[in-house]
Each structure stands twice: as structure tokens, then as C-alpha cells.
Amino acid sequence: MSTPFVVGIDLGTTNSSMAYARTDAAPSDPLATPPVHPFAITQLVNASEPREEALLPSFLYLAGPNDFPAGALALPWSEDAPLVGVLARKRGAEVPARLVSSAKSWLCHAGVDRTAALLPLNAPEGTEKVSPVHASRLYLEHLRHAWDQAHPDAPLETQHVLLTVPASFDAVARDLTLKAAAEAGLGDVVLLEEPQAAFYAWIERHPDWRERISVGDLILVADIGGGTTDFTLIAVTEEAGELKLERVAVGEHILLGGDNVDLALARHVEQELAGRKVTLDSLQLYGLWQQCREAKEALLDPQNTKDSLPITILGRGSSLIGGAIKAKLMRADVERILLDGFLPKVESTEMPQRARARMGLAELGLPYATDAAITRHLARFLRQPAAGAAGESVRRGPSGLACPTHVLFNGGLLRAGAARERLMETLNTWLAAEGAPAAQPLPGEDLMQAVSRGAAYYGLSRLGRGVRIRGGVPRTYYVGIESSLPAVPGMPAPLKALTVVPYGMEEGTELRFPDRVFGLAVGEPAEFRFFHSATRREDAAGTLLDEMPADVEELAPMQVELPAEGATGGFIPVTLESAVTPTGLLQLWCVARDGRRWKLEFNVRERHEG
């Protein structure tokens, strides 16, 4: 099979998209980059009505036996395909107990087993459930079928596929994403961070980008999507007379975005209904949440001039239709809640509020950010240290605030002009207080498809047909090393941390630590513990931390019995080697003196003790 395409996939929390470029056409200018095109995705928009759409809504509806007539869910590639996309979102707003949404947010939730069937959470007893990994697989599988149906001579599994993830995804979430892609039949895919993809899309759209930015500039990529908020800083540097781009800072994982706004809007409508003596049960509120999502997206669409949209909530029990509840969502309320609640004007010294003391018991759910003010999270991000040689020269004001010169917007929530204006107004107020010039927004992009377009462009750059952004791994990773001190009754042996993957380690590279020898347990069950930090960026590869710092977080532990391979069980002296594969997967190798090698990868099935 030939590989004439590079294909970019944005597996989004709310919407997914695809874009592609051909690699087999000889351009008239050998130095020119092939154009990137969006890919229209065939899906059901109504029962028995398939249609090509620019986006695939990331929703899965678990249809019951009586939900649709026989054959109503047929697609060109299947008589009875899983129901994802536009129709899934529509039907799920009516029957929320069967709707799977925000699977991507669950994919990075370390507090649950993400390979377990737990979605939808509010499904009644006896209803089928799926895991976040399986839901992600079904979205990707749908994209593969849609592509293969349109390109029967170039199936997706044989093309160069780039799949995006939030910059703040940790190693386990990235590995789970690769697992979903493999199960969906995508072949070997390469991961790319979404803010970088958005910037690649801007470069692709602006061949004269070198004339728009200059050495010393600092670009803030603000990506506010359906489920997460991601911030990234990209520095413009120079090497051998050529402009270079280097990612110098990535924000923490912030579970805050369109989902939070949708719930705030649903609560607002619920309060209005309460004034009419109308109360909603939990399923009706969830259905209202989904309807507010659709109404918000429509009202924030720049092409929509309506001042309000109707909301219909189905009644209870036998009065599903006759007891329907009518309401309205006003554009003015959407903008007020978005700006005052999520993008308030704050000082650059205001940090996100800390979580209050937790209740002893709580419903299982996503670990949403405690503080909903995105502007406060931005203030904290701009005060965190940057990394690398370029990071040392990042433009900063007297108070230490990083001072961007340009801002690139991405994500569906920032389609609203009022949201972009508020973010720029707040940022420029901070910059003025620092004595820095105002930042300028980079020219507008298609915020809904920029990530997939940028991923396709990145695929071209990997083939030598475009510009690359330097970046590497956005966190520092450690492996736990048990101390050899004598045992003390009632106290576990102290744990040290060895830096095995430093911040910024590039994909496709390896590190060896020949001067450090450790004992590897083989032939018996053992636990390996991994840690990471988004803030400790100066820990060099091979650094052994005698005490576990407070700003280091533990990943899922790994329990495994490594084969003894002819030797007796116990400890074998080994040195360590770490690698970041070209697909973005992190590996740790244990190497014995005689050449035997054992590979450890971050576990995708977490241990949960009852």
C-alpha cells in the first residue's frame, strides 16, 4: 500500500476533526509545502440520513433495542454502526442516561480505572456502559471508516497519521490515547500537543510568518476547548541566521472549559424554572446540560444573529411529551456568565483559589478545576519558570511575569469574540503594569479545525516539508528507587527519585545512565513507581533526589513479575536507559551486564484497592 497522505486528527472533548495533505504530488516549487485540506466526515445527522460534516461531535449514544427502527443506523461501511456524531448528540440530549460525553476528560482522570466500563455514569442499572478508552476507540474507528470509504486505495492505517493530545496530558493518558488508536486500527500514529498543532496551523496559513514575528518575541497559545484549558509559551529564537521556534513552557492540566460553561448555563436556566415552580430531577438536569451545550455553541457562532434559542426538557415518566418543559437561553446571559464567571478581570497577582476541605464521601466524577476563573489560571501560568536556554531569556516584567508579545487563540470557547477581547484586555492590563508593550493577537484562524490542520502540517514537517517547533516532553519524569538503609520497625524504606526523562527530551531520543547501578527484582512480583513534575524543569537526566519533593506527583504504579531468564530470582545489577519513541511513548529499559534487557512502560491499567 502507498502512503500518499499525511493525516491530522484532533480527538476533541466536544468535537473531533480531520485534515490531510498529499505527499506524492510534485510541487512546482520544490521548497513549497503542500496545502492542507479539511476532511468532511460522513455521519448520521438524523435516523437513516448520513451526511458529510466538517466536525464529528465526540458523543456516543448507546442505543437500546427500541430506540431506532431496523436499518436506521446504517452507514456506508456498516449496517449497524455504533452511533457517534451529530445524531448521537441530538438523541443524547433527549435520553441523557444513554449518552457518553467528555470521554477525553475521563481519559486523563488518574483517580479511576480508565479501561473499566464506567460511562455514562448516570446510566440506569442494566444499561450497557463503556470505558473512556473504548469510547475514544469508537470515535477514532468512525474516523477511520469515513476516511477509508472516501479513499479505498489509501486506507488510513497505511498513511502517516498524527493524533493530537492536550499539552498537559501525562504519560499514562498519552499511552491510553495510543492504545485507543491501535484498537481502532489506525496503525502507528504519532502524538502531537494541541497548542503546538494550533501554532503549526497558523504557520501553514501564513507562509510569510517570518515577517510577522521576530527574534525575542514570545507567543502565548491559549487553547480553551470543551473540556480543558491549555496554555503554552513559544519563544522565537535565532540559529545560524534563521528564525527558530522553541516551546519553553506548558501549563498544568486544567480540567476547565466549555463543559463547565454549559453546566453554569444549565444551572442558570434551572434557577429561572424554579421561579416558575418547576423542579428538575438529576436526569432532566443532565439533559438540560446537553441542550445548553448545543444552544451555547449556536449562540456563540459568529454567523448567528439570534438573541435567544429555545430549550425543551422532556417530562417525567408517561408524560414525556405532554409534560415537556419550555425555556429559553439568551445570548446576553451566555456572554455574561462566560465573561463574569470564567473570564473575570483580575490582577496578575491573583492566583486560583485553593480547594476547600473535601467531604468524606462524594459522587464519582471528573476532577474539575476548583476555581472557574480562567484568567487566574493564566496569571499563575505566566509566573511559572520557563525551561531551556530560550526559557532563560523569556521576556519578563519587574514582578517576574512572562510578557507575551503575541497571542494565538484556539478552542471552541474562544470562537466568541467577547471572550477573545476579554482575554486580550486582561492580559494587556497586566503587561501595562509591567511596563511592557501590549500583546497583539495573531490573525484569526478556524478555531474548530486548526488543531487537525496543524497536525497534518506537522506530519509534512517530519518529512522535511515544513517548519518544526522544538519542544520535547512537557514534564520531567522519575522512577522510584528504594533506599538500601536498614529496616526500621513500622516504617517503609525511604524512597528516592531518579530523573529518567528530563523536561524537553525530544522524541526519538535515548538516554543512558551507565554510572548508576541498581538492583532489579526478577523472577518475583515487584512494584515499580513512576513520578512526574510539571514545574521541576532543571532536574538533569540521571539526577537522584534523596527525598521526594512536594511538587512531584505519582503516576499509576506498575506491578509486574519480570522473567528471570535463566537466573535465579532476586536482584540483578542493572543500569538504566530511557527513551522517548517517535510516537511520543516513554520507555525505561533495565540492562544487565551480560546484555539482558527488560522494558518498563507506564502502566495503562491502574491499581485500585478497595
C-alpha 178/C-alpha 197 separation (Å) is 17
**Residue 376 in domain:** no
Which positions ≥6 away from 374 have C-beta within 8 Å?
A: 224, 229, 256, 342, 343, 423
Give pLDDT tens digits for 162-197.
999 988 788 888 889 999 999 999 988 999 989 889
Please tell me the distance from the alpha carbon of residue 222 to that of residue 249, in angstroms, as a whole number.
12
| H-helix or E-strand spanning residue 268 | helix 258-275
- Say yes or no: 103 and 25 in one domain: yes
Residue 408 lies in a domain: yes
93, 49: one domain: yes
Residues 287 and 160 in one domain: no
For β-strands 160-165 and 5-10, DSSP reports them as parallel
Interval 332-385: pLDDT, tens: 999 999 999 999 999 999 999 876 655 666 666 788 899 999 999 999 999 987
**Residue 209 buriedness (CB in 10 A; 0-12 / 13-18 / 19+):** middle
**Same domain as 509, residue 417:** no
Among 10-19, 538-547, 572-581, the range with the most confident prediction by mean pLDDT is: 10-19
More confident residue, 173 or 111: 173
User: Is there a single domain that holds both residue 251 and residue 263?
Assistant: no
263 and 315 co-located in one domain: yes
Per residue in 428-459, pLDDT (tens digit) is 999 999 999 999 999 866 888 999 999 999 99
Domain region containing 211: 201-255+383-470
Instruction: Report if residue 377 sits inside a domain.
Output: no
Give domain status of residue 607, yes or no. Answer: no
- CB atoms under 10 Å from CB of 303, counted, come to 5
Lowest-pLDDT range of 87-101, 116-130, 377-391: 377-391
Alpha helices in 96-247 (DSSP H): 103-107, 132-150, 171-183, 194-205, 209-212
Q: How confident is the model at residue 25 (pLDDT cuts 50, 70, 90)?
A: low
Kindly state whether residue 427 falls inside one of the protein's structural domains.
Answer: yes
- Look at residue 222 in the predicted model and tell me its pLDDT: 95
Q: Which of 174, 192, 210 is the last residue of a domain?
A: 192
Of 146, 170, 192, the last residue of a domain is 192
CA distance 57 to 131: 18
For residues 501 and 126, give the distance between their C-alpha atoms in angstroms, rounded to a whole number.
45
Q: Report yes or no on 361 lying in a domain.
A: no
Work out the widest C-alpha separation in the chain, in whole angstroms: 78
pLDDT digits (tens, 9 = 90+) for 236-279: 988 877 788 888 888 888 989 999 999 999 999 999 999 999 99
Would residue 407 count as lying in a domain?
yes
Residue 117: the pLDDT is: 94
Last residue of a domain, one of 166, 192, 218: 192
Question: Does residue 2 have a pLDDT over 80?
Answer: no
Judge whether residue 608 has pLDDT over 60: no
Which single residue is written with the C-alpha cell 455574561?
336
Indicate the average pLDDT of the chain. Answer: 88
Is residue 227 pLDDT above 90, yes or no? Answer: no
Q: How many CB atoms lie within 10 A of CB 330?
A: 18
Are 262 and 215 members of one domain? no
Asked whether residue 540 falls in the same domain as residue 579, the answer is yes
The pLDDT confidence band at residue 30, using thresholds 50, 70 and 90, is low
The reported pLDDT for the residue numbered 435 is 97
The model's confidence at residue 584, banded by pLDDT at 50, 70 and 90, is low
Give the model's pLDDT for residue 604: 43
Length of the chain equals 610
CATH number of 422's domain:
3.30.420.40
Compute the distance between CA of residue 584 and CA of residue 582 in angstroms, rounded to an integer: 5
- 310 preceded by cis ω (within 30°)? no
The whole-number average pLDDT for the span 216-242 is 90
Mean pLDDT of 198-211: 91
What mean pLDDT is predicted for residues 574-578?
94
Q: Specify the amino acid at residue 310.
A: P
Q: Tell me what pLDDT residue 602 has.
A: 58
Half-sphere exposure of 238 (CA within 13 A, CB side): 8
Q: How confident is the model at residue 319 (pLDDT cuts 50, 70, 90)?
A: very low
Same domain, 501 and 534: yes
- Per-residue pLDDT at 362: 62
pLDDT of residue 213: 93
Domain-embedded: residue 353: no
Give the global pTM. Answer: 0.83
Number of domains in the chain: 4
Q: Print the SS3 string covering 122-158.
A: CCCCCCCCECHHHHHHHHHHHHHHHHHHHCCCCCHHH
Residues 176 and 323 in one domain: no
**Is the confidence at residue 146, as pLDDT, over 50?**
yes
Specify the amino acid at residue 607: R
| Across 580-585, average pLDDT | 74
Query: What CATH number is associated with residue 320?
Result: 3.90.640.10
Residues 409 and 487 in one domain: no
**In the prediction, which pLDDT does 320 show?**
47
Task: Give the 3-state secondary structure percentages of the chain, helix then strand then coil, rounded to 5.
Answer: 30, 30, 45
Percent of the chain predicted with pLDDT > 90: 55
Q: What is the pLDDT of residues 488-546, one digit of tens each?
A: 676 777 889 999 999 888 877 899 999 999 999 888 888 889 998 888 888 999 999 98
Residues 507 and 556 in one domain: yes
Cell numbers 503549526 correspond to: 200
